[in-house]
Structure 1
Amino acid sequence: MVICDMAVHQHTDGRVARGQRTRDAIVEAHTALLREGVLKPTAKVIAQRAGISVRTLWLNYKDTETLLGATTAYWLEADAELRDDIDPGLPLDERVERYLDMRARRLEHLAPAARSAALGEPFSVALQESRRQHVDRVRDDLAHVFAAELTAEGPGRDVLAAGLFVASSWPTWSSLRDDLGLDPDAARAVVRASLLSLLTEASART
């Protein structure tokens, strides 16, 4: 009886592991296609890239929304690994440079997913939730890195916080990279000028 139970347990564990590998392969295929510029891949294209059938894809993800939830979770986890803990006690210029290094790196990594999400976000709760989490992360980063300047603003804190957010947000980066055709270094320089202008102007008022 014990041997039989162990065999059943091992079989179940193996099946669960295979299922997880299949789900991981689907998300990796979806992610790879987005990175290649295929912003709205069909289930057939994703399945072909993952080396499975369309039926297997939908057995693992019951609908498009579930698949989008898994893919956005992947991007959020990858983005978290790119976050740096920047000391808010450093001089302002150094904090700005370190924040820009981190932010530009994360924005370039996020770009394929963000471009794809823009197509489906109005219709997808998963994409809307992912956007909210990314926005919250940026706001938290800014509040931490520039805590001294934001605190010194007093009643004007919210205005400064909003300005810093807009200057380093994905829509701004996308406009610089996609609309104006700037390379990452040139886009970074524009964001740097915007942040320094906001922060030095705030410092001058205190």
Structure 2
Amino acid sequence: MTMTDGAITQQSDEAPVDGRVARRQRNLDTVLDVVLEMFAEDMMFPSIEQASKRSGLSLRSLYRYFADPGELVEAAIKRSQARAAELTHLAHIGEGPFAERLDDFVSMRLRLYETNGSMFRATIHNAANHPRVRDEMITNRRLLRDQFELQFGPELAAMSPRERSSAVEAGNVLTQIDSIDLLRRVRNLTVAETDTILRDSLTALLVTTS
């Protein structure tokens, strides 16, 4: 009976704490989603005041969560990157015929851009002022470069060291999200046109004809 009473008492004591934690998480999810929406609208430097107005959460609450706009931006970018991680997965990286690997790779990069392109732009815009954002940007670019090298390992392995180094750097530049953004937004190309450019360029870069 004492144990049962203790369990009941413990549950009663913890319920308000759990409720506050859940409410805090809901508020964080709400405001970070709002910031990501602002990124998508090319508002790359959202203030806490703007986030408060759009989310319906009080300034007092947001300043409890974030000391300054930099922390808000960092948290939003990190939230988006967690989602992006699922999109970058290649189930059988480096395996299978070149045509299949090319299809998987280009489709994945375009899907990643269409879903998270605004987050990548926000990362670039905020990197100069926020060291942690800059570090995340450097890490992400390195991971995307490594992925290119692994996916097309068979073709790269057949090259001389000099050819391989040049191909890796050229392929990396071509397929980074910045480059896809240039094609889609600056050159105003369609997804299909961008897809064709990436496929043709990677084929020319990686497949030797004799």
TM-score (norm 2): 0.87
User: Which one of the candidate residues 116, 126, 132 is aligned to 2:138?
Assistant: 132
**1:141 counterpart residue number:** 147
Shift of 1:87: 4.5
Q: Does 1:18 align with 2:4?
A: no
Shift of 1:66: 2.1
Q: Does 1:77 align with 2:82?
A: yes
**2:123 counterpart residue number:** 117
Q: Does 1:181 align with 2:188?
A: yes
Partner amino acid for 1:127? V
Partner amino acid for 1:164? G
CA deviations 1:25-69 (Å, max 9, x no partner) are 111111122223333222122112221012211111222232222
Q: Does 1:170 align with 2:177?
A: yes
Q: Does 1:195 align with 2:202?
A: yes
RMSD: 2.0
Partner amino acid for 2:100? E
TM-score (norm 1): 0.88
Alignment size in residue pairs: 203
**1:91 counterpart residue number:** 97
Partner amino acid for 1:111? G
CA distance in 1, matches of 2:148, 2:104: 12
CA distance in 2, matches of 1:101, 1:20: 34
Partner-residue secondary structure (3-state), 1:9: helix
Partner-residue secondary structure (3-state), 2:207: helix
- Identity among equivalent positions (%) equals 24
CA distance in 2, matches of 1:119, 1:142: 24
Shift of 1:148: 1.0
CA distance in 1, matches of 2:73, 2:132: 6
Shift of 1:171: 2.3
Shift of 1:154: 4.4
Contact in 1 for aligned 2:155/2:207 (Cα 8 Å):
no
When structure 1 is superposed on structure 2, of 150-159 and 24-33 the one drifting more is: 150-159
Shift of 1:100: 0.6
Contact in 1 for aligned 2:47/2:69 (Cα 8 Å):
no
**1:159 counterpart residue number:** 166
CA deviations 1:105-161 (Å, max 9, x no partner) are 101222212222332211111321221232122123212211112222242332221
**2:48 counterpart residue number:** 43
CA distance in 1, matches of 2:158, 2:69: 46
Contiguous gaps of at least 5 residues in structure 1: none
Contiguous gaps of at least 5 residues in structure 2: none
